[in-house]
Amino acid sequence: MIILKNERDLEAMRPACAVAGKVLDDVAAFIKPGMATKEVDEFAASRMKQYGAKSAFLGYRKYPCHICISVNEQVVHGLAGARQLRFGDIVSLDVGVIYNGFIGDTARTVPVGGCGVLAQKLMDVSEKALHEGIAQAVPGKRIVDISRAIQSHVEGNGFSVVREFVGHGVGRSMHEEPQIPNFVDGKPSPKLRPGMTLAIEPMVNAGLPGVNILKDGWTVVTQDGSLSAHFEHTVLITESEPEILTWVGRMPSKLKAL
Ligand code: MF3
Ligand code: CO
Ligand code: CO
C-alpha cells in the first residue's frame, strides 16, 4: 500500500526534508583531505543535534553510524571509521534524519579537494540522471517512467546502474512502498498520484553494474573496483511540477538563523 501524505503530514515532513538537505550540505562543505570518516560522521551527528533532528540510520537494522559514507568504489552504506579521506577521492554522503515524526532522505557524491575527469563525469551524469528521473515525477506517469529516464541517461553516457538497491517511498518510515528501481524491470508499475513522497536515488557505476557486500555486513562495493556515485532527493508528487523536498534552498525560517 502506498501512503499518500495530506497537507498536515506535509507541514511536518517538509521541514524534516529541509533539515536532511541542510545537514548534507554542511557535511559536504566540511570534508577535507586527511579527515577520518569517523570525524565526518561525528560532525553530521552534531549538526543533526543542533537542528533538533535525529539520524534515521543509526540503529536501523543495527546500522552503526549516523550517515552513510562511501568512498570511491564503495557504492552505498559505507561505514565511518579510521580511514582517512585523500585528495582525489570521491565520497558519497547519504543523510537521513527524523524530525517532526517524518524522515527526509538525501544523498550526494562530492570530490575530496578535487578529482579526476572520469570521476567528475561520473558525478555529473549521476546527478543529471536523478534530475531526469525527477522530471518524470508527475501525476499520470508511472514509477517505470522515472526508472527509464534514469537508466537511459546513465547508459547513454557509458555508465551502468546498480540493480540490487532501489529508491523507495518515504514518510513516517524510511522505506515505504513503492520501490523505485533505476532500471526498467518489466514488472507492473504504480501510477504516480499527488501526495506520494518518493526517495529517488540512482546508484551509478563507472564500469559494470555488479556489486558485492563487504564482510562488515554493510558496505556495498563495485565488483570490478570501478568508481561509483549516488545522488538522492525526497520528492513530492503534486498536481503539477514535482516538489524537491530535500532541495537545500528550502529552509524553514526557524533553522535559517543557525
Ligand atoms: N539512506 C539509505 C537509502 O537511501 C538507507 C540507509 S540504510 C542504513 O535508502 F541502514 F544504512 F541506514
Ligand atoms: Co538515502
Ligand atoms: Co533512500
Q: What is the amino acid identity at position 32?
A: K
Which residues lie below 8 Å from residue 250, measured CB to CB, with a gap of 6+? 14, 17, 18, 21, 244
Whether the Cβ atoms of residue 137 and residue 200 lie closer than 8 Å to each other: yes
pLDDT over 90 (residue 254): no
H helices of 51-200, in order, are 117-135, 143-156
Q: Please check the confidence at residue 77 and state whether its pLDDT lies above 70.
A: yes
Q: Is the CB of 63 inside a 6 Å radius of any atom of ligand 1?
A: yes
Residue 242 has pLDDT above 80, yes or no: yes
| Percentage of residues of the chain with pLDDT beyond 90 | 96
Is ligand 1 within 6 A of the CB of residue 105? Answer: yes
In this predicted structure, what is the pLDDT of residue 225? 98
Ligand nearest, relative to CA of residue 58: 1
Return the domain boundaries, the chain. 7-256
Whether the per-residue pLDDT at 252 is higher than 80: the answer is no
Q: Is 232 in the pocket of ligand 1 (CB under 6 A)?
A: yes
Is the pLDDT at 253 greater than 80? The verdict is: no
Burial class (CB in 10 A: 0-12, 13-18, 19+), 232: buried
How far is ligand 2, taken at its centre, from the CA of residue 157, in Å?
Answer: 24
pLDDT of residue 257: 53
Most ligand 1 atoms within 8 A of CB, residue of 24, 63, 162, 218 to mutate: 63
Report the separation in Å between the CA atom of 57 and the middle of ligand 2, taken as the mean of its atom positions. 9
Distance 6 CA to ligand 2 centre (A): 23
Whether the predicted model's global pTM rises above the 0.75 cut: yes
Residue 91 pLDDT:
98
The 10s digit of each residue's pLDDT in 170-188 is 999 999 999 999 999 999 9
Q: What fold is seen in the domain 7-256? A: Creatine Amidinohydrolase (3.90.230)
The answer on pLDDT for 57 being more than 80 is yes
How many angstroms separate the CA atoms of 199 and 222, rounded? Answer: 22
Residue 55's nearest CA partner among 92, 96, 19, 102 is 96
d(CA 38, CA 250): 28
Q: Does 198 have pLDDT greater than 90?
A: yes
DSSP-H helix ranges across the chain: 7-30, 37-50, 117-135, 143-156, 253-256
Pick from 232, 6, 247, 229: nearest CA to 109: 229
**Cα(200) to centroid of ligand 2, in Å?**
9
